Every structure is written in structure tokens, then in C-alpha cells.
Amino acid sequence: MKSDADELFREAFGVEPRWRSRAPGRVNLIGEHVDYMGGLVLPAAVDRYVWLAGAPAHRWEVRSEASGGEDYLRALAAELGAGPQRVAAAASLPAGFGMSSSAALLVAAAAGLEPELDGREAALVCQRAEQKATGVMVGVMDQFASAMGRRGHALLLDCSTLDVRYVPFPAEMLIVVVDSGVRRELADTPYNQRRREAEAGMPKRARHVETEIERVKRFTAALEGGDRRRCGELLKESHRSLRDDFEVSTPAVDAIVERAWAIPGCLGARIMGAGFGGSILALVERGAEAAFEVAIGAPTVVCATADGAFAA
């Protein structure tokens, strides 16, 4: 796919690129709706990527299938003090699966334009760029995972201090993202209301935040202890909390999650991301993924952990 970005660049602009880069998408294993409360999250960079090829230019020209790609790149270049660029993008990271294609695009661009940045600096500058490009005060989890992920590990991030710790992730366990088929625009859902309720300390919302942060700690301990079954149980607990206390699931999503729980080789599954539809995260024993994909009856992306663009 890297050569696809190169080839697209040559076809579009008739010259060779001056810089090349890539960055991975991410999946948040556990720690949902706690990032903006300063809680703990446990994402992992995954082996689905955005590749870029670029060169300085007199004006912006972007060849990308990503909607809004040029707006993101302009915002990042402004943050870095870089001038206009010609950029071509190729991706194996599917849009619409909740795997942070926008963060991967920005982190890849940062790696191409300023490769001397460290991962923390890159994540923060990409966060600022996305906020300016979209007007949405996004958190920093996606950018940290894409910039600082490490193959064979998840990344334990404290969203209040931005401290990072790497947690071994077993090769025997695969990450599967399932498209629920339930489409939604967050502006048309109670997402903002849920966040306000959590920030105001509404008891059910606060209970989810408190118990989810505790689940992140227990999930981390289970990973470090090699207890994959316990990891799966904690995913199920997380889904029930997101369904009952934070109330961001739907009956259609619940049905898919519960179907996943019953499939042999599936350790656990939950709704992921903002909720009200979107995608489902499942942890599946290696070797059981093909049967899982057939049994779940919905589009899937099977992933392993990966290095970030600025991996140490």
C-alpha cells in the first residue's frame, strides 16, 4: 500500500514525492467514555494504516479518498509552520469502523513533515490540528495510540496526566472490529447529553465512569497475568455498564454483542466508541477468527497490534 501512495502521487502530480510516511489506526480495548473525565484508557495501535506521499508545493493539492482530508492536513501544516504540500494518501484502514482514520491521517502527516518530533509532541500537535479542522474538542487518546503504539502491546494512558505505560498483549488473541450496520450522526444522538450528565455527576453516569476506570485497571492486570478469559469477562462487564448505566447502546447493537458472546473462540465483546450504533469490539482466540467472521454475520476487520508512527 505504501507504493500505492507513491504511485498515486506520481500519477497525480508527475513528479517523485519528497517524503513518505504511514501511521496506524487504533482500537480502544477498554476505557469507554472516561477519557474526557480524565480517566484511564487502554488503546492499541492496529495493523491497518494510512500511507502518505508528499512534497512541498506552491499551493495545496491533495489526492485522498478521506473526506475532509485536505482540511486536516492544512490545519496540521499550520500547527507545524509548514507550507503548502502536494499529498497523496492510500489506506488499508477502513473508514466508518471507528478505528480513527482521521487521527492516523494526521499522525502520518506529522511523521512525514516533522519526523524528528517525539511521539508525545506529535500526538498533541495532531490533537490541536483536528480540533481546529473540525471545531470538535476531541481527546488525545487516538493520536497517542497512532503515534506511540507498540507492536505486541497495548498503551495504558492516563488522560489526566498523559502518562503512558506499555502493557504486553498476547499474540494468541486477535482484535476483531464488527460493523453493527447501525448508522448515526453523533449530533443527532444524545452523546453530548451523556457527556454533560457525566461531567455533572449524574449517579448512573458517574457509576459507569468509576467502574469503567476500575475495569481498565483489572484488564491491565489480566493482560499482564496472561488471563485472557478474564479480559473477555471484563469486556462483557463494560458492555453491560455502557448499556445500562451510560445508556449508549441500542437493541440492535446489543443483539450483535450477545451473538458474539455465544460464538466459540470469542472471549468477550462490547460496543465501542461513542455508541448509539457504530462498531463492536471483540477479542477472539487466534485460529477462531474465520469461524467468528462467518458466525457473526456482519462486516469485520481482524487486527493485530502494531507499531505507531513514532514508536520508540
C-alpha cell at 30: 477498554
Is 189 a residue whose pLDDT tops 80? Answer: no
Q: Give the confidence band of 276 by pLDDT, cuts at 50, 70, 90.
A: confident
- Cα 270 from Cα 236, distance rounded (Å): 6
Residue 191: C-alpha distances to residues 19, 35, 185, 249, 277 (Å): 39, 14, 10, 11, 11
pLDDT at residue 43, rounded to an integer: 98
- Cα 50 from Cα 107, distance rounded (Å): 9
pLDDT at residue 134, rounded to an integer: 86
- Cα 220 from Cα 155, distance rounded (Å): 10
Those residues whose C-beta lies under 8 Å from the C-beta of residue 294, and which sit 6 or more positions away, are none
- Cα 193 from Cα 285, distance rounded (Å): 37
* Burial of 217 from C-beta contacts in 10 A (0-12 / 13-18 / 19+): middle
pLDDT at residue 65, rounded to an integer: 66
Phi, psi of 305 (to 5 degrees): -70, 160
Q: What's the mean per-residue pLDDT of the chain?
A: 93
* Burial of 59 from C-beta contacts in 10 A (0-12 / 13-18 / 19+): exposed
- Cα 124 from Cα 44, distance rounded (Å): 17
* Average pLDDT over every residue of 114-130: 96
Residue with the three cell numbers 487466534? 286
* Average pLDDT over every residue of 158-167: 97
SS3 128: helix
Which residues on adjacent β-strands are paired with residue 268? 283
- Cα 98 from Cα 187, distance rounded (Å): 16
Handedness of CA 284, 288, 292, 293 (dihedral sign): positive
pLDDT at residue 186, rounded to an integer: 57
Q: Nearest Cα to 175, choosing from 141, 195, 149?
A: 149
C-alpha cell at 103: 487521527
Phi, psi of 240 (to 5 degrees): -60, -40
Which residues on adjacent β-strands are paired with residue 154? 167
Buried b (16+ CB within 10 A) or exposed e, 7-44: ebbeeebeeebebbbbbbbbbbbbbbbbbebebbbbbb
- Cα 264 from Cα 36, distance rounded (Å): 35
Domains of the chain are 2-28+41-156 (3.30.230.10), 173-303 (3.30.70.890)
* Average pLDDT over every residue of 219-229: 97
Residues marked as catalytic:
142
- Cα 194 from Cα 241, distance rounded (Å): 13
pLDDT at residue 39, rounded to an integer: 96
Is 1 a residue whose pLDDT tops 60? Answer: no
Count of alpha carbons within 13 angstroms of residue 244, beta-carbon side:
9
Mean pLDDT is highest, among 128-132, 136-140, 166-170, 193-197, for 166-170
Is 2 a residue whose pLDDT tops 70? Answer: no
pLDDT at residue 68, rounded to an integer: 64
Do the Cβ atoms of 2 and 20 come closer than 8 Å?
Answer: yes
* Average pLDDT over every residue of 199-221: 97
Tally: H helices and E strands in the chain: 10, 10
> Is 278 or 150 the better-scoring residue by pLDDT?
150
* Average pLDDT over every residue of 22-30: 97
pLDDT at residue 218, rounded to an integer: 98
C-alpha cell at 95: 473508514
Is 57 a residue whose pLDDT tops 70? Answer: yes
Do the Cβ atoms of 211 and 247 come closer than 8 Å?
Answer: no
Q: Nearest Cα to 49, choosing from 104, 110, 114, 126?
A: 104
**pLDDT tens-digit series, residues 71-109:** 999 999 999 999 999 999 999 998 778 899 999 999 999
SS3 176: strand
* Average pLDDT over every residue of 200-220: 97
pLDDT at residue 66, rounded to an integer: 60
